[in-house]
Amino acid sequence: MKNYQKALIAFLGGLIAAAAAAALVGCGDRSSSKSESGGSGKSSATSDEADVHGDLSELGIDPASIDVFPQVKHDSKNEAGFQLEPPKDGDTIAVIHTSAGDVTLRLFPDQAPKAVTNFINLAESGSYNNTTFHYVVRDTLIQGGHCGSDPASPNGVSSFGGMFEDEFCDSLLNLRGAVSMANSGKDSNGSRFFINLTTADTFRKNGGWKAFDDLWEDTKSKLSDYKGSNLLSAYVDVNGDKFINTGSIPQSVKELYEKYGGNPAFDGAYNAADRGNTVFAQVISGIETADSIASAETDDKNVPKKNIVIKSIEIKTYSAAQPTT
């Protein structure tokens, strides 16, 4: 996304309008990246895996020609939706102590190792302490965790000292309760994160999958129009975050969103332009606290009028015999 704060509302608003009008453990590469030998960067999905970039090739567009080198990982051990399962003894969890109450997360280091390492490092160093939830949208998401003030790191300063790459894995989705890295473009992760809060009812009211199908058909039409012109790259740069290839999304994944809600617009695993937001955790308790934060009174830029503070984030090892907060 070019500007997460603005693009989110513009994109979801567009869906409403469309509806009204009408090296990972258990995760192996699903798609090939740009190789040192000068490979094309085209997807190499196996026959039983959806090829998210296939439509670009069918339109006569080489993904590499528009700087699309898919890095999607296929999780061979977990099915999409496993993030909703209860945590197991030994799992790493994080308790976000906020001025509105606690929110507890289960972390997924096997699927998103850099994002999880970054989050843990920042939490344990106290970097998140006294930061705020600076952008909230009722029944959509809450975003916070901006650390530092480096202009070169618009999404906050990571524990690595700079921006780091996206980690898209097809078993982790932006379902309600999922926690993802905020960004302002490909591989621009820092410290900011957000919690998805869209309910299943709101997902349906926003047009559901029909709205995404219509958006993808419109996108393919424009790609065909721009193909071969010098406007193609510019169109992808500006609109790539909207390239949700619904034809590549398994029915089982669609059913998860229909049942639990969430924001599939952010799923990099199903974006034909290799854009999206890395899912690295899932809320396991305190979702009502997150909902209350999302309902706070805000200004016209969705900034809470009264600061909602992250007091600290506590990293723990989960045990069913002990409370999570």
Please give the Cα distance from 156 to 169 (Å, whole number).
23
In this prediction, residue 6 has a pLDDT band, given cuts at 50, 70 and 90, of very low
pLDDT digit string, tens, across residues 172-211:
999 999 999 999 999 999 999 999 999 999 999 999 999 9
All residues at 6 or more sequence positions from 98 whose CB lies less than 8 Å from its CB, including other chains: 133, 289, 293, 308, 309, 310, 311
Stretch 210-231: mean pLDDT:
94
Least confident residue range of 12-21, 47-56, 302-311: 12-21
Please give the Cα distance from 137 to 146 (Å, whole number).
17
Quick check: 35 pLDDT over 90?
Answer: no
Please give the Cα distance from 273 to 296 (Å, whole number).
34
Q: Is 41 left (phi over 0), alpha (psi -120 to 50) or beta?
A: left
Quick check: 92 pLDDT over 80?
Answer: yes
Stretch 40-52: mean pLDDT:
42
Residue 37 amino acid letter: S
Q: What percent of the chain is predicted at pLDDT more than 90?
A: 75
Given a contact cutoff of 8 angstroms between Cβ atoms, the answer to whether 25 and 110 are in contact is yes
Least confident residue range of 4-8, 129-133, 189-193: 4-8
What pLDDT does residue 48 have? 39
Q: What is the mean pLDDT of the chain?
A: 87
In this prediction, residue 31 has a pLDDT band, given cuts at 50, 70 and 90, of very low
What pLDDT does residue 66 have? 87
Please give the Cα distance from 256 to 198 (Å, whole number).
13
Using DSSP's 3-state secondary structure scheme, residue 96 falls into strand
Stretch 282-309: mean pLDDT:
98
Stretch 57-67: mean pLDDT:
88
What pLDDT does residue 53 have? 63
What pLDDT does residue 99 have? 98
What pLDDT does residue 11 have? 53
What pLDDT does residue 91 have? 98
- The residue with greater pLDDT, 147 or 4, is 147
Q: Tell me the DSSP string of 64-93.
A: GGGT-----EEESS--TTGGGSPP-TT-EE
pLDDT digit string, tens, across residues 230-283:
899 999 999 999 999 999 999 999 999 999 999 999 999 999 999 999 999 999
Enter the DSSP assignment of 129: T
